[in-house]
């Protein structure tokens, strides 16, 4: 997963540095950081390219609209990333994996974009349905923002109505705008996958790509929740200040206890529903395998297999397939097809010309 997660974090670092460039914070050093990481991302992976390309572009445009002249400098890292993307997309490996033909077409892009947005639309229901305790994440994010209420409202400016100009219109529409941007980012990172699916991908789609889609979705959910929670804090603070209640509906010394109580309630909910929430998790399945002896049986079979492989003449060998219910300790076992990926990996590692799996 390193070749997925490292570009993911590189994109976040580049985005953070880009925001600091437009804000005028250590512009030279942050510009160098953006340049280095965006150039790296250009050849590192397509979902990170989509994420970094879109978000840094949005930061640049926002800076330009706010009159930040240095924001235009971000176009240089974006160009470097684009060059890397073009080189990567045109590489012979893409054509080889796509059955000998791969090209970037307008029709393909439009189809991929449409499918990506449809998939992103269904992502929320899918993730919350599959991962039951996921509801805790937005609740904790919101509580964290609410707990910081005093710092948020200390520099609060009065939110005005529609007559106060575009800036205040944006303020009132902030949750909708943030939601649209976060949803677009969530969909945008899916475009490379759906473009690849237009071709007969011979080696299949790596599960790591789908996992990264989930990471980006989690990130955008957290961002939108934080922005919306802050917006609620700002509006309610203004309302209560007008009513001469600067502490809000609940006094400061009581708020902390309420937040802690809510966290305790969520922990209790998870404990009560632990089988439904965590019964199918990798941690629980590994623990059950250890307790039941399944892990011990798997280890015995693997030790016997390794002994056979080390004793082979390096030409041809048949080895028994794993009988133990080995999930999640092994994903793909050897098969009776000597050309399968796992067989080839075993042959390369143990220096054997042909390996056949037998029942």
Q: Tell me: pLDDT of 162 over 50.
A: no
The tally of CA atoms less than 13 A away on the side-chain side of residue 68 is: 21
Based on the fold, state whether residues 191 and 140 are members of the same structural domain: yes
Based on the fold, state whether residues 198 and 310 are members of the same structural domain: no
Return d(Cα 300, Cα 302) in angstroms, integer: 5
Question: Which of 71, 90, 109 is the last residue in one of the domains?
Answer: 90
User: Does residue 114 sit within a domain?
Assistant: no
Instruction: Find the mean pLDDT for residues 32-58.
Output: 94
Based on the fold, state whether residues 81 and 146 are members of the same structural domain: no
Say if residue 77 is exposed, middle or buried (CB neighbours under 10 Å; 0-12, 13-18, 19+). Answer: buried
User: Does residue 288 sit within a domain?
Assistant: no
Question: Which of 90, 113, 139 is the last residue in one of the domains?
Answer: 90
Q: Tell me: pLDDT of 248 over 70.
A: no
Based on the fold, state whether residues 216 and 337 are members of the same structural domain: no
Instruction: Find the mean pLDDT for residues 244-260.
Output: 68
Number of structural domains in the chain: 3
256 vs 129, higher pLDDT: 129
Q: Return the pLDDT at 27.
A: 82
Return d(Cα 192, Cα 45) in angstroms, integer: 9
Based on the fold, state whether residues 150 and 252 are members of the same structural domain: yes
Based on the fold, state whether residues 244 and 346 are members of the same structural domain: no
Based on the fold, state whether residues 70 and 144 are members of the same structural domain: no
User: Does residue 65 sit within a domain?
Assistant: yes
User: Does residue 312 sit within a domain?
Assistant: yes
Residue among 215, 209, 213, 205 nearest 188 (CA): 213
Based on the fold, state whether residues 173 and 81 are members of the same structural domain: no
DSSP conformational letter for 324: S
Q: Tell me: pLDDT of 203 over 70.
A: no
Based on the fold, state whether residues 226 and 142 are members of the same structural domain: yes
Q: Which helix (H) or strand (E) holds 318?
A: strand 316-320
3-state secondary structure of 210: helix
Based on the fold, state whether residues 167 and 249 are members of the same structural domain: yes
User: Does residue 307 sit within a domain?
Assistant: yes
What are the structure tokens assigned to 173, written together?
Answer: 């529409």
Work out the pLDDT band at 117, boundaries 50, 70, 90.
Answer: very high
Which range marks the domain in which residue 301 is found?
A: 295-358
User: Which residues are CB-neighbours of 7 under 8 A, at least 6 positions away?
Assistant: 40, 41, 44, 45, 47, 48
Question: Which of 90, 119, 146 is the last residue in one of the domains?
Answer: 90
Based on the fold, state whether residues 140 and 228 are members of the same structural domain: yes
What are the structure tokens assigned to 94, written together?
Answer: 């893409």
Q: Tell me: pLDDT of 272 over 50.
A: yes
Q: Return the pLDDT at 12.
A: 95
User: Does residue 71 sit within a domain?
Assistant: yes
Based on the fold, state whether residues 76 and 170 are members of the same structural domain: no
């Amino acid at each position: 997963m390193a070749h997925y997660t490292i570009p993911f974090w590189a994109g976040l670092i580049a985005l953070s540095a880009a925001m600091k460039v437009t804000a005028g914070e250590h512009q030279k050093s942050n510009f160098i950081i953006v340049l280095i990481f965006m150039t790296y991302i250009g050849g590192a992976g397509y979902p990170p390219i989509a994420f970094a390309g879109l978000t840094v572009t949005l930061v640049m445009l926002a800076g330009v609209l706010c009159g930040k002249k240095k924001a235009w400098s971000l176009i240089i890292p974006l160009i470097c990333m684009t060059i890397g993307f073009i080189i990567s997309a045109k590489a012979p490996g893409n054509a080889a994996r796509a059955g000998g033909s791969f090209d970037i077409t307008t029709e393909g892009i439009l189809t991929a974009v449409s499918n990506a947005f449809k998939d992103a639309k269904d992502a929320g229901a899918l993730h919350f349905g599959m991962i039951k305790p996921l509801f805790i994440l937005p609740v904790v994010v919101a509580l964290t923002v609410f707990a910081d209420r005093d710092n948020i409202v200390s520099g609060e400016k009065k939110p005005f109505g529609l007559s106060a100009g575009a800036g205040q219109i944006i303020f009132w529409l902030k949750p909708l705008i943030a939601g649209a941007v976060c949803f677009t980012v969530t969909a945008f990172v899916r475009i490379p996958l759906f473009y690849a699916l237009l071709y007969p991908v011979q080696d299949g789609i790596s599960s790591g790509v789908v996992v990264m889609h989930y990471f980006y979705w989690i990130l955008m959910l957290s961002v939108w929740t934080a922005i919306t929670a802050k917006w609620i804090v700002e509006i309610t603070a203004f309302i209560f200040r007008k009513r001469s209640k600067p502490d809000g509906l609940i006094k400061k010394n009581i708020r902390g206890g309420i937040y802690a109580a809510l966290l305790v309630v969520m922990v209790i909910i998870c404990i009560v529903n632990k089988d439904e929430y965590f019964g199918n998790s990798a941690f629980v399945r590994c623990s059950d395998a250890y307790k039941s002896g399944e892990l011990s049986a798997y280890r015995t079979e693997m030790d016997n297999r390794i002994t056979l492989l080390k004793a082979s003449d390096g030409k041809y060998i048949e080895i028994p397939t794993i009988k133990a219910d080995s999930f999640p300790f092994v994903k793909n076992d050897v098969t009776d097809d000597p050309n399968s990926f796992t067989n080839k990996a075993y042959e390369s590692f143990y220096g054997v010309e042909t390996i056949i799996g037998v029942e």
